[in-house]
Amino acid sequence: MVNLPGLTGGLNLHPMVVHFPIVLILLAVVSEILHVSLKNEFYGRAAGILLNLAAISAVVAVYLGYQAADAVGHDSPGHDRVHVHRDIMLWFTGLTVVIAGIFQFIKSSRKGYYRLIALAAVSVILIIGADRGADLVFNYGVGTHIKEMSQEMPGHHEEGEDSDHDGDEDHEQEAHDDDHSDGHSH
């Protein structure tokens, strides 16, 4: 059996799905820019397909996000920021679903710059919401085992304790110098 510790050790599936709407909506923007600037219908169809896929994947990400938020607990550090991230991404998802529906079923709305403006607007919301999600993970460890692991790791020291690792660099430099004793350099 294949060993996938990142998949099996994850607390939830939300982090694995959130990247789909991000990439798909940004690719839709690029496709729509090409559609408008080159007047090439291929890119217009691609933008529509990418927008629809972004809407579907955003709904899945929100669903999994609710499951992930339930697992966090109300006493967790950063819990108040979970609500901010959630609210922004609900706006993004709702608007993305609505504009996908409009552009899918009302063909006249695809003319001109309407779709490009709509895609740019939801992209701004997406970037802000994704930033809040990244803040939760990187600054608060939400959805990770970081806090648990730091307590379990032998030799781990907390922030503020003596963490001088400069000696390691000296040893690395000496080893590097030894490797080049013949006088050549990079």
149-186: b or e for each residue (b if 16 or more CB lie within 10 Å)? eeeeeeeeeeeeeeeeeeeeeeeeeeeeeeeeeeeeee
Nearest CA to 130 out of 47, 37, 19, 36 is that of: 19
pTM of the shown model: 0.75
7 part of a folded domain: no
| Residue 160 maps to a domain | no
- 48-68 pLDDT, tens digit each: 999 999 999 999 999 999 988
Q: Which of 73, 31, 76, 74 is nearest to 49 (CA)?
A: 31
Q: What percent of the chain has pLDDT over 90?
A: 55
| Number of folded domains that form the chain | 1
pLDDT per position as a tens digit, 120-170: 999 999 999 999 999 998 998 887 766 555 455 455 455 555 555 554 554
Task: Write down how long the chain is.
Answer: 186
Asked if residue 108 is part of any domain, the answer here is yes
* Within-domain flag for 102: yes
> Domain for residue 25, yes or no?
yes
pLDDT of residue 108: 86
Structural domain containing residue 94: 15-146
pLDDT at residue 153, rounded to an integer: 47
Asked whether residue 183 is assigned to any structural domain, the reply reads no
Predicted confidence band of residue 34 (pLDDT cuts 50, 70, 90): very high
Is residue 156 in some structural domain? no
Q: What CA–CA distances, in Å, run from 103 to 22, 51, 113? A: 19, 9, 12
Q: Is residue 186 part of a domain?
A: no
Please, which pLDDT band fits residue 78 given cuts at 50, 70 and 90?
confident
Collapse the DSSP code of 78 into the 3-class scheme (helix H, G, I; strand E, B; otherwise coil) and give the result. coil
Amino acid present at 44? G
